[in-house]
Amino acid sequence: MKFLTNTKKTRFKIAIGLLVFLGTITIYAIQQGMNDVAGTSIAGMLTVGTGYILGDSYRKSEKKEE
């Protein structure tokens, strides 16, 4: 059973890469006391996640009709 069937999709890889990058920036900014940068990074994470979900919901299904 495949748990992640969409790991081969480029948009998924880009979204995960951006979320990891922004998460790393958030952790570093919190450790350095840069709360404004951390807040902006979290807002970016929310934007990337919402954009991916919205974009994926408008795409047509890849299942072929038989």
Average pLDDT score over residue span 13-39: 94
Q: For residues 20 and 8, what is the distance between their CA atoms, to the nearest angstrom? A: 17
Whether the CB-CB separation of 49 and 19 falls below 8 Å is answered with yes
Q: Of 17 and 63, which is predicted with more confidence?
A: 17
pTM equals 0.72
Q: For residues 24 and 10, what is the distance between their CA atoms, to the nearest angstrom? A: 21
Tokens of 9: 């999709």
Q: How many CB atoms are closer than 10 A to CB 26? A: 19
Portion of the chain with pLDDT greater than 90, in percent: 48
